[in-house]
Homo-oligomer: A and B are copies of this chain.
Amino acid sequence: MTDARKLRLSLESTLDSVEAAELIVQRMAELNGFDPDQVHQIGMGVRETMANAVIHGNGLSPDKSVRFDASIDEQAFRVRVADEGSGFDPDSVADPLDKGGLLLPSGRGLLMMRAFFDEVEIGSSVDSGTRVRLVKYRTKGAGGTTQEEDQ
């Protein structure tokens, strides 16, 4: 493991912040020994999460920012994204894999986050916005167990 293991940023609610977050986690993952597929997946999952935060959460408002945390340890890549929106209920989002959802032009972001990260936890409230916690383990299915990586 080399460097760039922990980062805490406040980002504007812009599409460029979405791109920036993706580039940051890709480079962090790469410098810390994640393989190219994992780098891609971490990038995409973060991209979708950040896009939701700046668009659905903060409505691209110049007055609202996104709190972005990324950290890497022996086990996993962890990300937290918190917006200042008015929240939503993840359980009432239409399933994009259903017959009715399949041809809709949107609604695939959460699905992609869940496909690319091992853990996705969404906390949301009208007052405090949405906080998404993402975890990607170095070794698939390594959730919770302690293990050493050879570097």
Which residues of A pack against B, CB within 8 Å? 4, 7-12, 14, 16-17, 19-20, 23-24, 26-28, 30
Contacts and interface: CB of A to CB of B under 8 A. Distances in A.
25 contacts: A4-B19, A4-B23, A7-B16, A7-B19, A7-B20, A7-B23, A8-B14, A8-B16, A9-B11, A9-B12, A9-B14, A9-B16, A9-B17, A9-B20, A10-B12, A20-B20, A20-B24, A23-B23, A23-B24, A23-B27, A23-B28, A24-B27, A26-B27, A27-B27, A27-B30
A94 to B, nearest CB: 30
Contacts of A20: 7, 9, 20, 24
Q: Which 4 A-B pairs have the closest CB atoms?
A: A23-B27, A27-B27, A23-B24, A10-B12
Name, among A11, A24, A26, A27, the residue most crowded by chain B CB atoms within 10 Å (CB to CB). A27
A7 B22 CA distance: 12
A14 B6 CA distance: 13
A120 to B, nearest CB: 23
Given A7-B16, A23-B24, 16 more contacts: A4-B19, A4-B23, A7-B20, A7-B23, A8-B14, A8-B16, A9-B12, A9-B14, A9-B16, A20-B20, A20-B24, A23-B23, A23-B27, A24-B24, A26-B27, A27-B27
